[in-house]
Structure 1
Amino acid sequence: MPVVRYQIRDEYGLADPELYKPTKRDDPEEILEGVAMAGLVGVLRQLGDLAEFAAEIFHDLHEEVMTTAVRGHALMLRVQQLEAEFPSTEKSFMSQTNPLQFIYNTGIDWHPNIQTDQNLITRGDLPRFILDSYEESRGPPRLFMLDKFDVAGAGACLKRYSDPSFSRWT
């Protein structure tokens, strides 16, 4: 599975370099004050980037919730339709006077062990916005380039990288 990451830019790289350039007098306090101000500006811009990313995620999540709500509403309408049709079916069933008709009618096979624990209303796959983030993420590192330095041979680095017992503390 790919590693999903959000790249946060450097806080000093986000600020305007004019804030922390040396002043005319090269006063150390002014330089430090400029660097501190640049850091604060950078942190605020980082927060803005993260807020934009969170807004995008929550917007897509809201769309997914609305899609699920529409499916739930359609399911509720179908159940209401069945509830409306049930009394007429029940009435015709109860009006049968011959009990032998029920004995010789095998009906349908009953499967009482049907277990549906999840995905009653939603689809079974991941939402589109989560799949998009997986597609945009980087793949595994190119560890085959390190195999020439390993005595175990070709594919050993990738095997160690993907083996959870290799890095487990005992």
Structure 2
Amino acid sequence: MPLVRFEVRNEYGLGQGELYREGNREEDSKAVLDGVAVAGLVGILRQLGDLAEFAAEVFHGLQERVMSTASRSHKLMVRVQSIEAALPPLEKAVLAQTSHIHFAYTPVILMLMKSSYLAGSEWHPCIQNEQNHFIYNDLPQFIMDSYEECRDPPRLHLLDKFDTGGPGSCLKRYSDPSYFRRVSGNVTEPDAEKLPKDKRPKKSKKKRSSQRNGDVAHYALMSNHSGSLPLQLVMGRPLLLIRLLQLTRR
């Protein structure tokens, strides 16, 4: 932490110069010296006042923070002592068991009373979720100051008169995530309609079907040439045609 230096003004400059300037220096020199001493004392008092103001700025709220920290540490110590008091019975119940597999199905309270009782169905729906075991809501003052000094949200309600959505629509537009999903969905639908349809899968299907028909026609011509099967039967049963051709070749 860097040290902050405070420049203290001269005590004679802070004192009243009229206390020793108005006296007759030649006739009464003692009165002049007394005036200078009084002016120096006045300046020292003003220096002490300046230092007191500077100390108040540096150590502002230090006592309140120390008291708050002491209170938090005392509460933490009390909770730690309560945890230490609850651990020995649990430790004895765990060490007294030869098998620890049933602890996964036994609640903590029943484990302390009847450690051999299986109650997994009672433990799972009754889970106690406790928070703030070691901290409380009394935040330090410097954290509370940051919350109090933060800026308010932007005044977007002033733009509602320019929006067709009505009151609160501008704030919802910048704070509601569902608005972006809804608007993005509405924007993508017209864009999808403008795009041309992809005909590549259809072309591949047509190409495959034409290739298959060509193979069937080829086998049909071969079978018609050999005189084994008529052309109509071959066009309807291409697999049967292949099987018959294999048999005829044998």
Normalised to the residue count of structure 2, the TM-score between the two structures is 0.33
Structure possessing the higher relative contact order (Cα contacts under 8 Å, 6 or more residues apart): 1
Structure whose CA Rg is larger: 2
Normalised to the residue count of structure 1, the TM-score between the two structures is 0.46
